[in-house]
Structure 1
Amino acid sequence: MVQATALPRNDSGIETVIGILKQRFADRLQTGESIRQQHGHTTTWINNQPPDAVVFPRSTEEVSEIVKACAAHKVPVIPFGTGTSLEGHVNAPAGGISVDLSQMNRILAVNAEDLDCVVQPGVTREDLNTHLRDQGLFFPIDPGANASLGGMAATRASGTNAVRYGTMKDNILGLEAVMPDGQIIRTGTRARKSSAGYDLTRLLIGAEGTLGIITEITLRLHGIPEAISSARCSFPSVDAACRAVMMTIQYGVPVARIELLDERSVGAANAYSKLSLPETPLLLLEFHGSEAGVVEQAETFGAIAEEFGGTDFAATTSTEERSKLWQARHDMYWASLQLRPGAQGISTDVCVPISRLAECVTSAQAKTAELGLLAPIVGHVGDGNFHTLLLIDTENADEVSKAEEFVGWLNDLAISMEGTCTGEHGIGQGKKPYLERELGPAVRYMRAIKAALDPDDIMNPGKIV
């Protein structure tokens, strides 16, 4: 495991705050070792740094009480959604209080005529879409895991639908948040646009809990499409598949999803999900629109794919067939682990301009081969974002060293291509070394904002800056 840096602890303050919160929240304040370890859990290779206590608020006012107590005694506060983040976001390097928002899980309002809704942060995307289905509406951001919407906002989540519907920042109208002094603020209204002052909504989206705790979210919704068609097509190489993606986007085909699986990923999906796809690079696509429109879009893509050697092209509007394909895509993490039983999967992501995608992906494949690493690749390639899953023995120092070398190399490569070290995983602890390389002096201004809003550095310390 990679050892995350520990920060100085305020032991007397932590003890005092635990006493205050225990009296106020009784059984909703937990200090058992297993629950603390769970709330320091991270699905990366960074070591677990558990908080000293976990508290379960049920309202914004209770979150405010917790933060005020912590602020008074300069004790760290670490927001927790479902724990699906990948870069050590929920670790507690200075100890402190984990604020688990899972019991704040109410859908407060659905305004169908205005295509928006208001939810608490513990609502998951699957729960929201189940609630909306009868009204002909859906929320499109799909990062794969059934993450909480608060966590998705805090990490500026993206996913398979981003090529058409954007990311979390494009689908949030406003927030309610508890700031580092315990003050409750609102950053926007239900209006579709505003020129009123600084855009605090976008400041808090992607801040990973370092500037405040999101306690309510006003989301944009979309109508469920009249028709949905899925397609798949195999290619002779990753380069050919990526060039087909580039041409599809440039041609203006309004794809809702366009996903890449390299040959290793396809093999894993075949074995895990009992498919029989050709074990060559694969594109999975989805089209939304009218009955005629989705057929036309699929046919247009089929013609483009043929130019790049695409074979075994098939499109379907069958709900069962579509669900089977996309479930296989969402199960890729677990499928990939079966390629090397006992190994840990270390996922890293980058995002580059579409024109550099083919070069970046093929370079990543060549680098893992050079290092002798088993590393299937999948990607939301419609927006230039892809993920490499390194399957390594974290007890083997040589493998860990090679994995660290690859992650650093890939981040630097993406930055050199005018891309980013993370398209959707976020910075957390794991990608901090690369943020300054990417943004340079801008990071100094991020630190200034952090210091102005959180002078005692109690909000999720040790992350981003």
Structure 2
Amino acid sequence: MNELVKALENIMAAERVSVNETLLDQHGSDESYHKSHAPDVVVYPENTEEVSAVMKLANEHEIPVVPFGYGSSLEGSVIPYQGGITIDFANMDQILEVREDDFLVRVQPGVTRSKLDKELKRYGMFFTVDPGADATLGGMAATNASGTTSVKYGIMRDQVRELEVVLADGTITRSGSLARKSSSGYDLNGLFVGSEGTLGCFTELTLSVTGIPEYIMAARAEFETVDDAVNAVIGILQAGIPVARVELVDEVAIKQMNVYSETTYAEVPTLFLELHGNEAGLNQDVEFMKEIVEDMNSMNIEFESDTAGRNKLWEARHHAAYAFIHNHPGRQQMVTDVCVPISELAGAVKDARGAIEESGLSGGIVGHVGDGNYHILLMLDPEDAAEVEQADQVNERIVHYALARGGTCTGEHGVGTGKKKYQEEEHGNALQLMRNIKQAFDPKNILNPGKIL
């Protein structure tokens, strides 16, 4: 170990190479329920060349390497179960270029979403992917993050225009271009985005950004049943209403949110919506949307156009997970996700609610209903083997339900370690193609080994 530390200190300043136990522990877990495991050493590079040198050293000695952003992943993606080197990109957090005429920004991987949006406001623009957590952009690309706004603007993969990547052997390469489209060669961006650090380390990202909408309207619609809520969303999307966010929150989650956020929402299946556009157009869309939700048996719909009202509504939604944690002291949260065709969502949510009730655990359901992605927020005692087993059974049930209906085992959290066991069921013999790709990019299997495959 001393020899490894000395070799790393020859690459970068000694104060950016750490074997401090507290720091190692901080890099041995994420926000998931998965068992922690510390790396042997953490390094904090400041540029691409230092990342390349670390990778060359690791490749030569076959030392595992795990890229680390903010540690907000939810499926154990950054936990270094084989030890080795964790590369923390906290010092590579510069916004390198804003190309406002091209609606592009070039950043280092450690830039957080909030930092980027703060800078983009000066140009009247914003970054559209909102996973809820203030994650790093490198981490968001690694897990192909999405979130509340994906129904209108797309997911992380849709925003990545160009990448600078350090490969397993230390080679620095670029994929993509600044052009909006290309038919040239294989889509390497598509491979790297969502690879969870198993194919390379991102050192620069060029991302698409969007103009801040002229007018924003938020709404909250209450329903007696999940079926009515989902059918209302289908009707809204079919009508072409420019909905930018549409979130489903079940009655159990609403109850937890009321306690935590001091709101007084009716404890029924509820849609949280947001529309982006111009004022005149959105006023017409609002009237149309009222008709649609009323036809789908909405009990009540309320609109918010002022900033404070919108922020209160979305703050309550974004804090749903923390509401469960706050209201269940001493327990840990399992957050899992699957994604199904929208037509299958109501059945999936009802089956998931049944699975929670049968488990005896406390849990709520929230979802990005506009793209068929939903999450279970399940509270458990990680030291209670029976409860852990019950939680795993809930997770397994919703995954099998999704896969049987043409869905996926994870819509946005990533595979990490928690969803590995479902890869063959979902992908069949295509999984071998993925293994071949991994072998081609990382023949010594040092990049985040044991994840995805």
> What is the TM-score with the length of structure 2 in the denominator?
0.98
In structure 2, what is the Cα distance between the partners aligned to 1:270 and 1:276?
Answer: 6
Q: Distance in 2 between matches of 1:240 and 1:337?
A: 29
* Structure 1 residues 61-114: Cα deviation after superposition (integer angstroms, max 9, x where no partner): 111111111111110110000000011111111110000001101001101111
Give the alignment of 1:50-449 within 5 angstroms: 50-449=38-437
Q: 1:343 Cα shift?
A: 1.3
Secondary structure of 2:202's partner? strand
Alpha-carbon deviation of 1:15? 5.1
1:27 aligns with 2:18: no
Distance 2:147 2:286 in 1: 21
Deviation by residue 1:377-401 (Cα, 9 ceiling, x = unmatched): 1111100000001111111121111
> Which residue in 2 is equivalent to 1:17?
4
Query: Using the alignment, how far apart are the partners of 1:414 and 1:40 within structure 2?
Result: 31
Contact 2:260/2:327 (CA < 8 Å) preserved in 1?
no
Aligned counterparts of 2:145 and 2:262: Cα–Cα separation in 1? 29
C-alpha separation in 2, matches of 1:437 and 1:375: 26
The question of whether the paired residues in 2 share the 8 Å contact of 1:231 and 1:298 is answered with no
* Corresponding letter in the other structure for 1:229: M
Match of residue 450, structure 1, among 438, 447, 451: 438
The runs of at least 4 consecutive aligned structure 1 residues that moved more than 4 Å come to none
- How far did residue 244 of structure 1 move? 1.3
User: RMSD in angstroms over aligned alpha carbons?
Assistant: 1.1
- Secondary structure of the residue aligned to 2:289 is helix
The aligned amino acid for 1:422 is: T
- The question of whether the paired residues in 2 share the 8 Å contact of 1:256 and 1:285 is answered with yes
Structure 2 residues without counterparts, runs of 5 or longer: none
- Aligned residue pairs total 452
Judge conservation of contact 2:11–2:53 (CA < 8 Å) in 1: no
Deviation at 1:19, TM superposition (A): 2.2
Task: Tell me, yes or no, if the aligned pair for 1:349 and 1:386 is still in contact at 8 Å.
Answer: yes
Deviations 1:219-252 (A, max 9, x none): 0010000100001111112222122112222232
What is the CA-CA distance between 1:169 and the residue it aligns to?
0.6
Q: Please, what TM-score do these two structures have when normalized by structure 1?
A: 0.96
Counterpart-to-counterpart distance in 2, 1:432 and 1:351: 16
Letter in 2 for 1:65: A
Once the two structures are superposed, residues 298-338 of structure 1 have per-residue CA deviations (whole angstroms, 9 ceiling, x without a partner) of 22222111112212211121011001111111111111123
What is the percent sequence identity of the aligned residues? 48
What amino acid is the match of 1:418?
Answer: G
> Is the CA contact 1:268–1:338 (under 8 Å) kept in the aligned structure 2?
no
1:6 aligned partner: none
Tell me the residue number matched to 1:10: none
CA distance in 1, matches of 2:200, 2:184: 21
What is the Cα deviation at residue 279 of structure 1?
A: 1.1
Unmatched 5+ stretches in structure 1: 1-13
CA distance in 1, matches of 2:392, 2:399: 11
Q: Which secondary structure state, in structure 1, belongs to the residue aligned with residue 334 of structure 2?
A: strand
Amino acid at match of 1:137: M
Residue identity opposite 2:9 in structure 1:
K
Q: Once structures 1 and 2 are overlaid, which stretch shifts more, 302-311 or 90-99?
A: 302-311
CA contact (8 A) 1:255 1:287 kept: yes
Q: Tell me the SS of whatever aligns to 1:286.
A: strand
Residue 70 of structure 1 aligns to a residue whose secondary structure is helix
